[in-house]
A and B are shown apart, each in its own frame.
Chain A
């Protein structure tokens, strides 16, 4: 009996499952392999997520190259945009990391541009939100986390452990403070990745739900459509802001590793 009921439930879920309903809010995040590639039993298929990452990389690179071609002293409009992006990141690195941060500028700039273009390209209807995949954001965060920790140990050696105990605190508090500091340090990649992932996911689910309402409500669908226009503007802000926050936190972590507070 129980198994029958379970089977029925499963069928019902399958029938209304993500793939079948045009209004399912989570369907847009499904990953479909575009071509099967298997190497030594590993599934390395090129998926829609990979496709949109490649598109983001290509669009951002060609945009920047196209914008600064010629390198005029009185810039064209596109060149102003490219110079503004450069200035924003350069200012961010200068203010948050200091002069030692200049060596890391290429990495930080690439990170910012890649996330920015992934976020903004995801706003095009029918595209795929790469940064709404937790594995994508988590991988970026963990790479940054490991790199920054390695930089800390390379610069300061074993003295970097002192980072986990605030200078000047009485010695008996070490038993509480050190574990708290370590947990806080370990939570960095989690908060970094979840922040970007959650913001993007929430925005895209909201899009889909409001778009579903617009279609289902017929003539009255004009109301959710109006809201949708506003939400789209808000999501554009969120897309840029989250790329900025991700990058600025990378700078802050880098500063901690180089200067130790």
Chain B
């Protein structure tokens, strides 16, 4: 199964396949579209990040108020902390999406260079 002849055969098959693919695509490989490029999905993700931070902040505020009997001060405090947390979530998500996009672009560039 794994004698060197087989491997050489496979390698030459690989190069021939690559050449055939390039011919088919008119000498130019179409860049792979990343799954995550969908703008709606990114927007949805960011919106939920923002809201979940706020929701958890408000929930913690209400719970602490009920426990300590300080209504409504901790709710007000944690409303603002929750808003901050939501924004922090959004910034982190945006950074992560950006890093992912950069990595994909880099991969595409490398693939292009390799096929040239």
A112 within 8 A of B: no
A19 within 8 A of B: no
Q: Name A's B-contacting residues (CB within 8 A).
A: 73, 95, 176, 179-181, 183-184, 186-187, 190-191, 194-195, 198-199, 237-238, 240-242, 244-245, 252
B67 within 8 A of A: no
Chain A nearest Cβ from B17, distance in angstroms: 12
Would you call A183 and B82 a contact (CB within 8 A)?
Answer: yes
Interface residue SS majority, chain A: helix
B1 within 8 A of A: yes
Would you call B36 and A187 a contact (CB within 8 A)?
Answer: no
Which residues from chain A contact B96 at a C-beta distance below 8 Å?
252
Would you call B36 and A195 a contact (CB within 8 A)?
Answer: no
B 28-42 to A, binary, CB cutoff 8 A, 1 in contact else 0: 000000011010010
Would you call B55 and A187 a contact (CB within 8 A)?
Answer: yes
B 48-91 to A, binary, CB cutoff 8 A, 1 in contact else 0: 11011101110010000000000000000010011011101100
Which residues from chain A contact B2 at a C-beta distance below 8 Å?
73
5 closest cross-chain pairs (CB), A and B: A191-B52, A184-B85, A183-B85, A187-B56, A190-B52
Q: Name B's A-contacting residues (CB within 8 A).
A: 1-2, 6, 10, 35-36, 38, 41, 44-45, 48-49, 51-53, 55-57, 60, 78, 81-82, 84-86, 88-89, 96, 103
Interface residue SS majority, chain B: helix
Would you call B103 and A95 a contact (CB within 8 A)?
Answer: yes
Would you call B45 and A195 a contact (CB within 8 A)?
Answer: yes
Q: A73-B10, A191-B48 are in contact. List 11 more A-B contacts (CB 8 A).
A: A176-B81, A183-B78, A183-B81, A184-B86, A191-B52, A198-B44, A238-B41, A240-B35, A241-B35, A242-B41, A252-B96
The winner among A73, A186, A242 for most chain B CB atoms within 10 A is A186
How far is A53 from B112 in the complex, measured between Cα atoms in Å? 42
